[in-house]
Chain A
Amino acid sequence: MTRTLLVLLLGSLGVACGSGRQSAPLDGELKLNAEQRQGQVLFHKFCHQCHPHGEAGLGPAINTNPAPLVAVRLQVRAGLGAMPAFPDSLIPDRDLQQLLAFVDAQREQSK
């Protein structure tokens, strides 16, 4: 049991802190609907700096993080660890919805 937990813990750390490599010349360009395209613009304004194309950079990869979008939303609003909070005054709810739709599109392509 202990060994299983240790393996799970190390495996989880590997997934959580993995590179999440995603790049247009390697994977093709993302196919986005209108909402996701709006989200892509917002992603480049608020997220891309630390998570380039959803990959790890200054921060961890988003593409390989299996947390549900509701948890991602919570983290964006509250901040966690080294990540600062982005309150409604910076990213209104409607914009956050579009942004999360784009994050979801990135994750779908990286599967």
Chain B
Amino acid sequence: MNWRQTLLFGLVSALAPACFALSGSEGGGQILTPASRTMNHGDVALPRGFAIDLISNHLTFPTSVTFDDQGDVYVTESGYSYGEVFGVPRLLRLREGEAPEVIASGDNGPWTGVTFYGGAFYVAEGGVKSGGKILRIERDGKITALVEGLPSFGDHQTNGPAIGKDGFIYFSQGTATNAAVVGPDNAEFGWLKRHPEFHDVPCRDLALTGANFDSDNPLTADEHDRTSTGPYSAFGHAAAPGQIIAGRVPCNGAVMRVPVRGGPVELVAWGFRNPFGLAFAPDGALYATDNGYDDRGSRAVFGAADVLWRVQPGAWYGWPDFSESRPIYEDAIWKDHYRVPGKATPPRLLAQPPSRPPEPSALFPVHCSADGLDFSRSTEFGYVGQAFVALFGDQSPTVGKTLEPVGFKVVRVDVKSGVMTDFAVNRSKKAGPASKIRGGGLERPVAVRFDPSGRSLYVVDFGVVTVSDRETKPRPGTGTVWRISRPEGS
């Protein structure tokens, strides 16, 4: 090794740890002028023997796909996107060679998920305007609300649903905030000015440590106005040590269920942050993807992974004091693991945790937004028992900084070991959405579902969303549905 090689080696070794401090954020949505969306299935890399084709495009914010008992394909369009873009939530039937047919539409998006069961569709209505609902939609488009009044005005909405063999609709409700404290980041999301009294509600009674958080007050015209806010409290309302927050159902950060015929809502498990995807595994267990904390707001958290949980009835999964079953506050073992560089470690909020959180089934990359999931049951498709998960992709810089784009692909997960492997990715030297790498492949996968035969995996691709310090800008008409299958003889 000559002196130049020695110096190069030393410099690279020394500079690698400093990358985070030296580099700006390079999220997948950080694009000034995204390329217009073109589709080229050849730009998507898959394991040998698999092929991908385009089922539908020009959709606006598609979120989920399902199949009826005739095998027809249906997709929900959200009707709302981050960036405060409101539209019409719709249930569409997709048939080859035909324009999408509107089965039903609403006015209280986002419609985040759909499943078909017993001759009808069941939709999770996020309801940022009027509250979350679980809807039953007949084939003729008639809509009946089975559940109403879900606390869904905040950062995260009503999600799911998945229907169990027990005849219950399982659905989830995300939290109002990043880490239980309403702050200026919620004004940037858009909802704080619409619903200034809204905050997180726990499912069971909780006692607080009394930690409060000072912030600017975006609800007044005085730019120097400051206020203090406690957890599980409306913006500008401080908490007291030992204060009991009354729990109730329905609540935030929870998986709940209701009978298919309708009835009272029951709590299944709680302490999640944003349990977006729900699916039953071949062994009958319910799994949920959970979007981890962001580096934003009055109680920012650094390096929190998205999680795949095996949902155990009655369990508490750790939000807002744990991430991945590890404490995010200063702890004898984990120290300041989740401290944002240059800031204080997030203080503990709960005087006593309800219980010890279970261990995760798998951990996804920080900020990847692990969303819809399904399990392979087909030996023809392969990977039987593994979870396939859509990674929407980072929304940096608003969720925190990333050095490279994270997500924008479909992965498969061995739920026993937690090992995950890329399944569908864009061909490029760097990871990222098609709009950033200027390809014709995946943009933002948000849901995956196997068709009734199990031989094809449908991938719902939300479309182009650009993100900057100033705004989140989703692009209507750029959503697609892809199909991945293993052609015979391959």
Contacts and interface: CB of A to CB of B under 8 A. Distances in A.
B12 A15 contact: yes
Interface string A26-53: 1001000000000011001100111011
B288 interface: no
A104 to B, nearest CB: 16
Contacts of B46: 25
B67 to A, nearest CB: 26
Contacts of B305: 49
B365 interface: yes
A19 interface: yes
A55 B431 contact: yes
Interface residues of B, number: 56
B287 interface: no
B403 A40 contact: no
Given A58-B367, A82-B302, A13 B8 contact: no
B45 A65 contact: no
Contacts of A89: 333
B20 A81 contact: yes
Contact of A23 (B402, B417, B425): B425
B221 interface: no
A67 B16 contact: yes
A81 B406 contact: no
A8 B425 contact: no
A48 B422 CA distance: 12
Contact of A17 (B22, B421, B425, B431): B22
Given A4-B4, A21-B430, A45-B418, A57 B425 contact: no
A21 B424 CA distance: 14
Interface in B25-48: 45-47
Contacts of B47: 24-25
B412 to A, nearest CB: 9
B71 interface: no
B23 interface: yes
Contacts of B334: 90
Nearest to A26: B45
Interface string B347-365: 0000000000000001111
Contact of B11 (A8, A21, A23, A41): A8
A59 to B, nearest CB: 6
B429 A19 contact: yes
B13 interface: yes
A56 interface: yes
Contact of A82 (B9, B20, B363): B20
A22 B486 CA distance: 23
A94 B16 CA distance: 25
A28 B365 CA distance: 20
10 contacts: A16-B11, A21-B431, A45-B363, A58-B403, A58-B406, A66-B9, A66-B13, A67-B13, A75-B17, A84-B335
